[in-house]
Amino acid sequence: MAPKDQQGMDIMARTPRGEKSAASKIMTVTGKGGETHQQAETEENRLTTNQGVAISDNQNSLKSGARGPTLLEDFILREKITHFDHERIPERIVHARGSGAHGYFQPYKDMSALTRAAFLRDPREKTRVFVRFSTVAGGAGSPDTVRDVRGFAVKFYTSEGNFDLVGNNIPVFFIQDAMKFPDLVHSVKMEADRAFPQAASAHDTFWDFVSLVPESTHMLMWAMSDRGIPRSYRMMEGFGVHTFRFVNEKGKSTFVKFHWRPTIGSTSLIWDEAVKLAGADYDFHRRDLWNAIEAGDFPEFELGIQAFDEKTANKLGFDVLDPTKVIPEEMIPLQMIGKLVLDRNPDNFFSETEQVAFHPGHVVPGIDFTNDPLLQGRLFSYIDTQLSRLGGPNFHEIPINRPVCPMRNFQRDGLMRMDVPKGRVNYEPNSLGPDTPRETPAGFATFPEPADGPKLRERPESFADHYSHARLFWLSMTKPEQMHIVSAFAFELAKVSTIPVRCRVLGRLKLVHEDLCAGVEAALGMEGQAETLKPAVPATTMKPSKALSLIAKAPPTIKGRKIGVLVTDGADAKILKAVQDAAQDEGAMVEIIAPKIGGAKMANGSMVAAHHTISGGPSVLFDAVVLLLSAEGVKQLVREAAAVAWVHDAFSHLKVISHVAAAKPLMDKAGVEPDDGIVALEGTGGTKAFIAAAKQHRIWDREPKLRSPG
């Protein structure tokens, strides 16, 4: 069970000033039955550096003041992260499974009032970009549709140098301090003794770790929500996670949060769909992105910001430097400042998608950092990782990483050097090379934020509330989304064999919301077994935010979606043409599925080519389906398990099913029951009714009739 002190305070929660350190000479441990015993420090359990130096605090990096910047002299942090960064060669340690695309960014208006960054000042200028989407936990060969955080990294090739906005599809993170990043990733990766599970958090080590780290609670809510299984990279939001700064020509600083919003809306898979897609198409997201760009259906995202000054930040009631917190859009509205368009696939996957090197420290004049301790650690970690993964310090010369503006400095030699510097002068200042580079007042200048405080390893008090924002997220979800969160927690915890870990997680969920805990307990059959935990700061109830819910803000559209049409010989070609035309008008794609890959002969004698067979093109690949069958064709399909499963899955996954009358025997065999998502095609307005229903994306009222949480 979780270690506690005599007051029942969770030891791992005790990070703010005034509370005890997690490391102590004598640790009081509470057992399952409430009994306590003291565990003495021994030589065998003393945590040390690789040089044998005992570590007094493994939870916090060294900062100048509790909210101050992380100090370079923190040799414990540097050693820990350096070793972690070099654990895998050459595959990325995290974000190994990725897909990339080229494109451009264009601002909507001149943002010079907030920032001097050139690429945000001219609405006529298009800045080249390369974007890499990724999963986090799995290896390069893992499936696309696993439950995981997704990376959303954008490299802007600006006229002033490269700017990398390296974020995720979730706006918060599991930890508050980079000191804990190696521990987090070790816990979620394959377990060290058995090398499984791959690309999955549903195992003991991950849940053991997060159950002892209360700051992870908010991120768990997001990861266990539909956000953890996006429908497509084209339909996925992105976030910069941290609070950054804009700095204008006058040196004025404005805090900023970055958001990416897909113009066709955001949507996700449901769990059974994600599992079946992992088997049907490992490359579902990668293929979807590639095919959309090849078809000219270019993915588009708007860049939004939440901009605010320090006075506003101080009134929010939480700390903007805490990467486990969000700023509700109702508090600080989102303003859209530009559009990202992905219009070209890579020419070579390895040369571009694999060798691209992102780093949060790649900024341009007008964009600067804050003292967020997780961001501060990333500023060291990313550059260090590239040295190992790409073979040395010259990775910036690889074409995909090379700036479009000139590079002029005195950095020389090193492994895989491509440039050939000329002349005898390789130092500065110098008097022998009058044409060699010199520093300039127009160059990057760090915002002069005051920093003065004692050297210490400590979290500020303002980081201590771990449950209010998690509760905000829960209360902002629609009923279907809440049910999915309960189901996700139940599924993951059912894979955890250590019962005390389950109880500890349930205790965390109880601090978020009683209904959430009760739902997960019931789904597990563990009613009343949540461990009683005392939070460092009790949760407060914030006003729900509609912007946090995918379903509540989903636009009615099928743009960018895929419609699967199951056809047989003897089907009506006119109806097929009407469906194809209507879908095209709405910006959706139509693919044909037939019993044989050679296609089907329609009632008018024409042949229609098939994209898939029934087994090769399961309904999980599509957002809505059409059953365009003949009476003779249905007689064969009702005897085919794959055809029955095709229709059953579409119904079970809450998709709109449009059909001709002849399809009824197959629908009956598949257990399809009438509702608003079952639409007859024949007759006046059939196609129009199908399109209108499909714009709902899923029929959520159907779900409670088909499955319960667990």
Residue 200 to residue 343: CA distance in whole angstroms: 32
Spatial contact of 344 and 103, defined as CB atoms under 8 Å apart: yes
DSSP per residue, 73-110: T-HHHHHHHHHHHTSSSSS-SSS-SEEEEEEEEEESS-
Spatial contact of 70 and 63, defined as CB atoms under 8 Å apart: yes
For 499, the 3-state DSSP assignment is: helix
168 is catalytic: yes
List Cβ neighbours of 454 (8 Å cut-off, separation of 6 or more).
64, 65
- Nearest by Cα to 579 from 601, 608, 551, 552: 608
Spatial contact of 209 and 187, defined as CB atoms under 8 Å apart: yes
Residue 553 tokens, joined: 């803000």
Catalytic residue among 60, 162, 168, 345: 168
Residue 615 to residue 424: CA distance in whole angstroms: 67
List Cβ neighbours of 193 (8 Å cut-off, separation of 6 or more).
none
Residue 697 to residue 351: CA distance in whole angstroms: 37
Report the 10 Å Cβ neighbour count for 553: 13
Residue 542 to residue 328: CA distance in whole angstroms: 10
Spatial contact of 591 and 626, defined as CB atoms under 8 Å apart: no
Residue 89 tokens, joined: 């060669």
Residue 227 tokens, joined: 């956000």
Strands (E), 527-572: 562-567
The answer, yes or no, to whether the previous bond of 429 is cis (omega within 30 of 0) is yes
CA 362 to chain centre: 21
Residue 87 to residue 96: CA distance in whole angstroms: 13
Residue 602 to residue 599: CA distance in whole angstroms: 10
Catalytic residue among 60, 95, 259, 371: 95
For 35, the 3-state DSSP assignment is: coil
102 is catalytic: no
The answer, yes or no, to whether the previous bond of 197 is cis (omega within 30 of 0) is yes
- Taking CA atoms, 543 is separated from 231, 292, 454, 474, 535, in Å, by 28, 38, 37, 11, 21
Residue 614 to residue 617: CA distance in whole angstroms: 5
- Taking CA atoms, 390 is separated from 25, 350, 361, 596, in Å, by 43, 12, 17, 46
Residue 538 to residue 471: CA distance in whole angstroms: 11
Residue 183 to residue 232: CA distance in whole angstroms: 29
Q: Please identify every residue annotated as catalytic.
A: 95, 168
